[in-house]
Amino acid sequence: MALRKIVLQGDEILTKVCRPVSNFDERLHELLDDMKETLLQANGVGLAAPQVGILRRAVVVMNDEEEILELINPEIIDAEGEQTGPEGCLSIPGKTGMVTRPEFVRVRAQDRDGNWFEAEGYDLTARCFCHELEHLDGHLYTEHIDHFLSDEELLAYYKEQGYDVEEIEKEDGGEA
């Protein structure tokens, strides 16, 4: 396994539509292993293949149980409700913006061996599914916002939500 370099906003790779994965081979497995290692090292919650420079439809998402799901050729098959909250991206480090997403999302995807399965998630996991799948079509969350949140706006949001703000300040995760 190896860490891969995360592509930053401004690189046109992040604006391209990715091609489906058709070979479930050793090269794909190596990509997925590297993406997982890169995600953990970056303390993020999700990573899409184009963020490491690979224009293929593959993402990794950390779910509520802190398992990293590998989703190949994923598609959203069900979405319900609505949530509005701060969202970040490993390709836009240190920034957040308020984005409205479904509260619940179910996806259909292939695993690293090509078997189809379904996965679902609420809250942050649902947000992350939407965020990562958009990367595969060349879209970033910044298309949904009118400004990046200031530190004061972010803290005000967390206080309003009843979070322990001192704990939040110590964390730097949550980017996808």
Strand partners of residue 98: 86
Task: Specify the residue, 21 or 42, whose C-beta has the smaller distance to Ni ion.
Answer: 42
From 18, 62, 89, 130, residue interacting with Ni ion (rule: CB under 5 A): 89
Q: How far is the CB of 77 from Ni ion (least distance, A)?
A: 21
Token couple for 166: 């001192």
Q: Are 27 and 64 in contact (CB under 8 A)?
A: no
Q: Which helix (H) or strand (E) holds 101?
A: strand 92-101
Token couple for 141: 């969350």
- Kindly indicate which of the ranges 13-21, 65-73, 85-93, 160-168 contains the residues binding Ni ion, using the contact rule CB under 5 A: 85-93
Task: Specify the residue, 13 or 176, whose C-beta has the smaller distance to Ni ion.
Answer: 176
Contact between 126 and Ni ion (CB under 5 A)?
no
Instruction: Give the active site residue among 67, 75, 80, 132.
Output: 132
Q: How far is the CB of 52 from Ni ion (least distance, A)?
A: 11
Contact between 99 and Ni ion (CB under 5 A)?
no
- Residue 17 has a CB neighbour count (10 Å cut-off) of 11
Task: Specify the residue, 21 or 92, whose C-beta has the smaller distance to Ni ion.
Answer: 92
Amino acid at 142: T
From 52, 98, 99, 176, residue interacting with Ni ion (rule: CB under 5 A): 176
* Residue 132 is among the residues annotated as catalytic for this protein: yes
Question: In angstroms, rounded to a whole number, what is the distance separating the alpha carbons of residues 13 and 88?
Answer: 18
Token couple for 135: 């990367």
Residue linked to tokens 């730097």: 172
Task: List residues with catalytic annotation.
Answer: 132
* Residues in touch with Ni ion (CB under 5 A): 89, 176
